[in-house]
Amino acid sequence: MEEKKKFKLSLATQIFIALVLGIGAGLLLQNYADIAQGYIKPIGTIFLNLLKFIVVPIVLFSIMSGIISMRDIKKVGSIGAKTVIYYLFTTAFAIVIGLAGGLIFKGFFPTIETSELNYQAAETNPIMDTIVNIFPSNFIAPLSNATMLQVIVMALFIGFAVILVGDKAAPAVKGINSFNDIFMKVMEMILKLSPVGVFCLICPVIAVNGAAVLGSLAMVLLAAYICYFVHMIVVYSIAVKTIGGISPLTFFKNQLPAMIFAFSSSSSVGTLPINMKGCEKMGADKDVTSFVLPLGATINMDGTAIYQGVCAIFIAACYGIELTPAQIITIVLTATLASIGTAGVPGAGMVMLAMVLSSVGLPLDGIALVAGVDRIFDMGRTVVNITGDASCAVIVSNLERKKAARKAAKKNAS
């Protein structure tokens, strides 16, 4: 007798069910938030720690493996240029959408007492310090501190060196590819725990902030989430359709597991392994995803840029300040450039917001208005950030394939 095939839910479905159950449990535990914080959150933290543990080796070895597989430094440069240009353009679009949304909703924003606000802004580095800090001063520190831009720079230099050494580096090539496969397998093992991790991450957030969502800041949150949605549906859909050669429906369907995980974890870097899998399912080239996605998790912050726009308008309105066109242009430029130096971890948007407010002379104390529900803003903006990374991987893959096809056709014709 033939054995019946076991019914198995996809990872996306499991994560979605965990998300819904986590929200429900969080609402039930609103009066017992200390239980959610003390006993459920630590399990979520363990899961996040496992992701943080695997992210550095994944980024290091996947970028090196991707560069080596291209066997051409010019190709790496071509992919890098396309990636950075795409990220800068979409981030600029995002901040414009955020500012526009903030201005549209300005009349609906609540009037909040600002006399007793107090927020200590995190210290921001001068632009030249940020550039200097991209380059590591020793081999171990970037790996132990998970300084992602430095890890990426290390991977680039080592990958280029392996290509330039040539045949003598064959053992290194084999070792790098083997380590890449091993860490990818470890990643798969950790991802099987995603549903448990998502439940334990979302439940405490809802238990602590559930009431705040329905409070006086609900309109600001609504404005931000509408802008998040508009940016993804309009900008990414048009981009993947016209430049990426893929249906927006196919794109968002395959992106769903990463989006759900990003929503619960608020970590672009933590979502990286799931995002890689989704992009490869959509047909993005492995050597492109291994370069574009780690870079995007570090420098591409479209959702965070939208958040800057909405919050800048909201904070200005609370203080009775009318932003001038020059100030609005300054916000666009500052938020776009600041995204490059902001880490893809929970809460990084607060540092960026301090930089943006400083650039136009808005009171930094205004950050205290949104600090209480920053995690809820963060959940949505992380979804936008990682979806932007995925759209870039799909688009750059398609552009590189077309470029290769043109070269092949030219070669055959000659």
Q: Would you list the DSSP string of 157-204? A: HHHHHHHHHGGGGHHHHHHHHHHHHHHHHHHHHHHTTHHHHHHHHHHH
The burial of 85, by beta-carbon neighbours within 10 Å (0-12 exposed, 13-18 middle, 19 or more buried), is given as exposed
Quick one: DSSP state of residue 39? I
> What is the Cα–Cα distance from 414 to 403, expressed in whole angstroms?
17
Chain-centroid distance, C-alpha 48: 15
CB atoms within 10 A of CB 309: 27
Residue of 63 and 171 predicted with greater confidence: 171
Chain-centroid distance, C-alpha 143: 20
Quick one: DSSP state of residue 109? S
pLDDT number for residue 11: 67
Contact between residue 223 and residue 309 where contact means Cβ atoms under 8 Å apart = no
Nearest to 277 by CA among 184, 374, 384: 184
pLDDT number for residue 396: 93
> What is the Cα–Cα distance from 297 to 8, expressed in whole angstroms?
31
Helices (H), 29-119: 33-35, 41-70, 73-105
Checking if the pLDDT of 125 tops 70, the result is no
Q: In this predicted model, what pLDDT tens digit does every residue of 199-248 receive, in sequence order?
A: 888 788 778 766 555 455 678 888 999 999 999 999 999 999 999 999 99
pLDDT number for residue 148: 67
pLDDT number for residue 113: 54
pLDDT number for residue 209: 67
Tell me the pLDDT band of 411, cut-offs 50, 70 and 90: confident
Q: In the chain, pLDDT over 90 holds for what percent of residues?
A: 15
**Per-residue pLDDT averaged across 273-298, rounded?**
86
**Greatest pairwise CA separation for the chain in angstroms:** 77
Token pair 């529900």: residue: 373
Q: In this predicted model, what pLDDT tens digit does every residue of 36-70 receive, in sequence order?
A: 888 898 998 888 788 778 878 877 887 788 778 76
Token pair 């920053």: residue: 374
Checking if the pLDDT of 118 tops 50, the result is no
> What is the Cα–Cα distance from 62 to 80, expressed in whole angstroms?
15
CA distances from 186 to 58, 141, 248 (A): 10, 23, 31
Checking if the pLDDT of 261 tops 70, the result is yes
Phi-psi region of 113 (alpha: psi -120 to 50; beta: other; left: phi over 0): beta
- Mean per-residue pLDDT over the chain, rounded: 80
pLDDT number for residue 387: 94
Work out whether the CA dihedral 149, 153, 158, 159 comes out positive or negative.
positive
Q: In the chain, pLDDT over 70 holds for what percent of residues?
A: 84
pTM for this predicted structure: 0.71
Contact between residue 331 and residue 321 where contact means Cβ atoms under 8 Å apart = no
Residue of 331 and 244 predicted with greater confidence: 244
Contact between residue 66 and residue 290 where contact means Cβ atoms under 8 Å apart = yes
Checking if the pLDDT of 251 tops 60, the result is yes
Checking if the pLDDT of 87 tops 80, the result is yes
**Per-residue pLDDT averaged across 157-184, rounded?**
88
Checking if the pLDDT of 343 tops 60, the result is no
> What is the Cα–Cα distance from 340 to 76, expressed in whole angstroms?
19
Tally of helices (H runs) and strands (E runs) in the chain: 19, 0
Residue of 312 and 6 predicted with greater confidence: 312
Nearest to 342 by CA among 375, 285, 382: 382
Contact between residue 191 and residue 11 where contact means Cβ atoms under 8 Å apart = yes
CB atoms within 10 A of CB 6: 5
Specify the range with the lowest mean pLDDT, choosing from 30-39, 285-294, 343-352. 343-352
Nearest to 137 by CA among 124, 128, 127, 147: 147
E strand or H helix at 271, and its extent?
helix 268-281
pLDDT number for residue 216: 56
> What is the Cα–Cα distance from 219 to 106, expressed in whole angstroms?
10
pLDDT number for residue 379: 86
Nearest to 264 by CA among 186, 378, 187, 372: 378
Residues whose CB falls within 8 Å of the CB of residue 28, separated by 6 or more in sequence, listed in order: none
Q: In this predicted model, what pLDDT tens digit does every residue of 346-395 receive, in sequence order?
A: 445 666 677 678 777 777 767 766 765 677 788 898 899 999 999 999 99
